[in-house]
């Protein structure tokens, strides 16, 4: 059988797809809905949007609709309105954003990014902007505005580093979150995010792993651990009455199995009964990146599962932003809960303090450095716990600079893991690569699934010879069983 | 959504070249994708072993297997899988096997 592509036989399929696409912007005019994809993500189609209850808005109606949504947003999120009002354009944030440092695109300075929304906000919702728009640089909302929103709010990792340096504490990540929500209601969402979102609604996890596959993988990992340690270390699933519901990352079942077996070994060694829930094997909550309803739905699923399994606490796995949603938003969404939600780094740290687990640092003789996932260090109070653990399970731990709340993002944060953004992603990771290179580390510990997907590519691209591992991966090696 | 004309059927693929309907997969389509997407002129017995393993797993479980399991069950280490499929097990091998693109934090 012979095969010919529809157009221009002989050219690689990807080049054709790019060639079919319009030159710029989120316009859905002609043959293909998608831009070339070098500097912005591929757009979801109407079909991709449907499971999330989102729809395309006609191009002609978009500016008016965007204005309405902006008006709603400023009332709904008071911080958003405050951030719109108080910026003095002092510029203190400019050099602190790895997105600007890596891309050298001035629109990626936090203040410039926020101004893409602020100028419109001023134009329609402030007295000076309405009457003297030029005085404050206020601008009309047009299709170009929306194109710029789509591009630049998807070159922000929502890392919150800018907020650490802004004298007013303006958190541009919050502005990005609000603006992506507005874009979503205009039907403008990266296809990568809708594909994850619909997997989450269907299966409770990002990868879309169904229960039989979960059980098969768990059995495989139990056998692996038996081979490695000679012990029967269980990975229980749906076990009612267990003490702990452990909520991992679904990537643990695909590319990061040592994180999951590290957790299994920790609970086994400490004598803690635990379980996974086949309803939710995902700490990540991509709703934070574009859809508050999705965020709430995933959160409800977690709490429902914990109640059904009658556990005493939930332990979150290695994920940064998901942890932020569990720790910071759970009680806002559900009211006071009858059980605590803790993080696996807190759990490991506490078990070491109580001497309920013992470790041998000789198991990790390499030089190790620690990457603070943004949402752990700047949005989730997990800073010292992983360090306390690392100092006990490794022989040569070095801090990178900057670190803790000043750490740079990996460049994949807020779900910027789509392939078509690879070039931009590598630019976004440059600041981190420089920090890691200076430590001379052989192992880069990064307890977040997004970081673990992004950092190996970034390190290879920027020629930093380092292996990326989770915290529980290293604990699993060091733990004495 | 882009399509490729393959013989007398139109095969829908996404922007990354992943076949949208796994039922449209044939060995000939795999050979075609191997050339177009991975630059492979022919597929060896080892390529087919990986491809058929992935397809069987997908048919049974509705998802791609854990990479470590793929390695163990085929007897090929990850390095060798990358030699076979330059874009790797997820973006290379799964694509040729007609599986949906593994998505999530990967
Ligand atoms: S540091 Fe704060 S006030 Fe200064 S320009 Fe940046 S966001 Fe505005
Ligand atoms: S949140 Fe991070 S990526 Fe976004 S503007 Fe601030 S520093 Fe830059």
Phi and psi at residue B103, to the nearest 5°: -125, 170
Task: Note the pLDDT of residue A311.
Answer: 98
Give the pocket of ligand 2 (CB within 6 Å).
A 97, 99, 110, 113, 156-162, 172-173, 176
State percent of chain A over pLDDT 90. Answer: 91
pLDDT (tens digit per residue) in A112-130: 999 999 999 999 999 999 9
Q: Is A48 on the interface with B (CB under 8 A)?
A: no
In this structure, is residue A17 part of a structural domain? no
Which of the four pLDDT bands, split at 50, 70 and 90, describes residue A37?
Answer: low
DSSP state letter for A171: -
When scoring A255, A257, A258 by the number of chain B Cβ atoms within 10 A, the one with the most, hence best to mutate, is: A255
Query: Is-contact A191 A43, C-beta < 8 A?
Result: yes
- Indicate if the pLDDT at residue A26 is higher than 60: no
A195/A9: higher pLDDT? A195
**CA of residue B4 to ligand 1 center, whole Å:** 49
What's the domain count of chain A? 2
Q: How far apart are CA A350 and CA A152, in angstroms?
A: 41
List beta partners, residue A5: B4
Atom of ligand 2 nearest to the CA of A158: 1
Among the partner-chain residues B2, B64, B105, the one whose CB lies closest to the CB of A251 is B105
- The alpha carbon dihedral of A217, A219, A220, A221 has a sign of positive
- In the numeric block, the tokens 């990178």 are attached to A400
pLDDT of residue A411: 98
Within-domain flag for A370: yes
Q: Taking the CA of residue A210 as centre, how many other CA atoms within 13 Å lie in the half-sphere pointing to its CB? A: 9
Burial of A47 (0-12, 13-18, 19+ CB in 10 A): exposed
How much is the pLDDT for A8?
29
Rounded Cα distance between A304 and A292, Å, is 18
Residue A232 lies in a domain: yes
Domain match, A200 and A120 both? no
Does residue A307 share a domain with residue A276? yes
Nearest to B61 among A34, A195, A213 (CB): A213
Q: Is residue A33 part of a domain?
A: no
Q: Are both A167 and A80 inside the same structural domain?
A: yes
Residue A174 token pair: 């919050």
Asked, for residue A442, whether it belongs to a domain, the answer is yes
**Across residues A353-374, what is the average pLDDT?**
98
Name the pLDDT band for A216 (thresholds 50, 70, 90).
Answer: very high
pLDDT score recorded for residue B3: 87
Structure confidence at residue B50 as a pLDDT band (50, 70, 90): very high
Are residues A133 and A214 both part of a single domain? Answer: no
pLDDT band, residue A48 (cuts 50/70/90) = very high
A293 near A287, Cβ under 8 Å?
A: yes
Q: What is the mean pLDDT of residues B82-100?
A: 96
pLDDT at A22 over 60: no
Residue A21 lies in a domain: no
* One domain, residues A217 and A170: no
Range of the domain at A122: 59-185
In a domain, A13, yes or no: no
Token match 């009002």: residue? A85
Judgement on whether residues A459 and A330 belong to the same structural domain of the protein: yes
pLDDT beyond 60 at A18 = no
pLDDT at A165 exceeding the cut of 80: yes
pLDDT in tens, A179-189: 999 999 999 99
Collect all residues of chain B within an 8 Å Cβ-Cβ radius of residue A12.
36-37
By residue count, chain B amounts to: 106
A384-415 residue pLDDT tens = 999 999 999 999 999 999 999 999 999 999 99
Minimal CA–CA distance to A323: which of A264, A257, A381, A383?
A381
Among A185, A201, A235, identify where a domain stops.
A185
Q: Which positions ≥6 away from A68 have C-beta within 8 Å?
A: none
Do A149 and A255 fall into the same domain? Answer: no
pLDDT given for residue B22 in this prediction: 87
The rounded radius of gyration (Å) of the Cα atoms in chain A is 23
In terms of domains, do A377 and A454 share one? yes
Confidence (pLDDT) at B4 = 86
Judge whether A113 and A66 are in contact, CB under 8 Å: no
Residue A25: which pLDDT band, with cuts at 50, 70 and 90?
very low
Q: What is the mean pLDDT of residues A30-51?
A: 76
Angle at A370 (CA atoms; ends A368, A374), nearest 5 degrees = 165
Annotated catalytic residue B71: no
In this structure, the answer to whether residues A235 and A123 fall within a common structural domain is no
Give residue ranges of B with CB < 8 Å to any A CB. Answer: 1-7, 13-17, 28-29, 32, 36-37, 60-69, 72, 90-91, 101-106
Tell me: do A173 and A239 sit in the same domain: no
Which of A167, A185, A203 is the last residue in one of the domains? A185
Count how many pairs of residues, chain A against chain B, have C-beta atoms within 8 Å. Answer: 118
Question: How many percent of chain A have pLDDT more than 70?
Answer: 92
What are the pLDDT digits (tens) for A83-103?
A: 999 999 999 999 999 999 999
Indicate which residue's Cα is closest to atom 6 of ligand 2. A162
Of A185, A200, A235, the domain-final residue: A185
Whole-number Å distance between alpha carbons of A177 and A174: 5
Could you tell me if residue A410 is inside a domain? Answer: yes
Q: Which domains does chain B have, with CATH numbers?
A: 3-96 (1.10.10.370)
Total number of residues shown for chain A:
481
From the CB of A111, is ligand 1 less than 6 Å away? yes
Q: What is the mean pLDDT of residues B44-61?
A: 98
- Return the ligand 2 atom nearest residue A428 CA: 3
pLDDT at B2 exceeding the cut of 90: no
Backbone dihedral region for residue A407 (phi beyond 0: left; psi -120 to 50: alpha; all else: beta): beta
Cβ separation of A210 and B63 shorter than 8 Å? Answer: yes
Are the C-beta atoms of residues B97 and B30 closer than 8 Å to each other? Answer: yes
Residue A336 sits in the same domain as residue A245: yes
**pLDDT at residue A23 in the model:** 34
ipTM of the shown complex: 0.96
Task: Assign residue A96 the CATH number of its domain.
Answer: 1.10.1060
A4, pLDDT greater than 50: no
Q: In this predicted structure, what is the pLDDT of residue A255? A: 97
* Average pLDDT score, chain A: 93
The per-residue pLDDT for range A421-433, each reduced to its tens digit, is 999 999 999 999 9
Tell me, yes or no, whether A176 and A198 share the same domain: no
For A258-307, the pLDDT digits (tens) are: 999 999 999 999 999 999 999 999 999 999 999 999 999 999 999 999 99
Question: Residue A24 pLDDT > 70, yes or no?
Answer: no
């Amino acid at each position: 059988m012979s095969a010919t592509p529809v157009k221009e036989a002989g050219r690689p399929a990807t080049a054709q797809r790019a060639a079919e696409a319009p030159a710029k912007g989120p316009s859905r005019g002609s043959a293909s809905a998608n831009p070339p994809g070098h500097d912005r993500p591929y757009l979801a189609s109407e079909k991709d949007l449907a499971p999330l209850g989102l729809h395309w808005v006609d191009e002609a109606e978009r500016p008016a609709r965007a204005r309405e949504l902006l008006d709603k947003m400023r009332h709904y999120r008071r911080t958003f309105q405050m951030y719109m009002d108080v910026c003095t354009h002092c510029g203190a944030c400019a050099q602190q954003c790895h997105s600007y440092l890596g891309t050298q695109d001035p629109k990626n300075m936090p203040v410039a990014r926020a101004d893409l929304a602020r100028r419109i906000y001023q134009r329609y919702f402030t007295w000076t902007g309405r009457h003297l728009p030029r005085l404050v640089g206020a601008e009309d909302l047009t299709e170009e505005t929306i194109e710029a929103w789509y591009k630049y709010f998807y070159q922000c990792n929502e890392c919150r580093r800018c907020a650490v340096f802004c004298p007013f504490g303006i958190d541009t990540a919050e502005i990005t979150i609000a603006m992506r929500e507005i874009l979503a209601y205009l039907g403008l969402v990266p296809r990568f995010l809708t594909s994850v979102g619909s997997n989450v609604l269907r299966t409770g996890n990002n990868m879309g792993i169904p229960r039989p596959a979960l059980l098969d993988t768990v059995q495989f990992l139990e056998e692996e651990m038996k081979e490695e340690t000679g012990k029967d270390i269980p990975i229980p699933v749906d076990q009612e009455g267990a003490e702990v519901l452990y909520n991992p990352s679904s990537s643990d079942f695909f590319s990061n199995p040592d994180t999951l077996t590290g957790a299994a070994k920790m609970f086994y060694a400490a004598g803690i009964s635990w379980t996974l829930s086949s309803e939710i094997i995902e700490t990540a909550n991509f709703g934070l990146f574009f859809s508050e309803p999705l965020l709430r739905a995933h959160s409800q699923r977690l709490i429902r599962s914990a109640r059904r399994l009658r556990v005493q606490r939930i332990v979150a796995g290695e994920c940064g932003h998901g942890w932020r949603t569990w720790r910071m938003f759970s009680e806002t969404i559900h009211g006071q809960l009858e059980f605590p939600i803790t993080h696996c780094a807190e759990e490991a740290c506490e078990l070491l303090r109580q001497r309920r687990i013992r470790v041998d640092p000789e198991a990790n003789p390499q030089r190790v450095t620690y990457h603070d996932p943004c949402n752990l260090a700047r949005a989730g109070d997990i800073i010292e716990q992983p360090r306390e653990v690392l100092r006990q399970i490794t022989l040569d731990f070095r801090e990178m600079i900057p670190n803790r709340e000043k750490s740079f993002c990996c460049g994949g944060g807020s779900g910027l893991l789509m392939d078509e953004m690879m070039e931009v992603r590598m630019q976004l990771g440059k600041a981190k690569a420089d920090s890691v290179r200076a430590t001379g580390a052989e192992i880069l510990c990064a307890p977040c699934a997004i970081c673990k997907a992004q950092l190996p590519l970034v390190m290879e691209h920027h020629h930093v010879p380092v292996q990326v591992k989770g915290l529980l991966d290293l604990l699993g090696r060091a733990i004495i069983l | 959504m882009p399509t490729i004309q393959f013989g007398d059927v139109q095969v829908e693929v996404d922007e990354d070249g992943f076949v949208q309907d796994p039922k449209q997969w044939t060995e000939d389509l795999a050979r075609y994708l191997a050339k177009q997407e991975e630059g492979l002129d022919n597929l060896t017995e080892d390529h087919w072993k990986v491809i058929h393993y992935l397809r069987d797993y997908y048919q049974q479980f509705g998802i791609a297997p854990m990479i470590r399991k793929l390695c163990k069950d085929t007897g090929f280490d990850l390095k060798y899988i990358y030699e076979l499929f330059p874009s790797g097990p997820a973006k290379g091998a799964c694509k040729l096997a007609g599986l949906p693109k593994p998505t999530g934090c990967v």
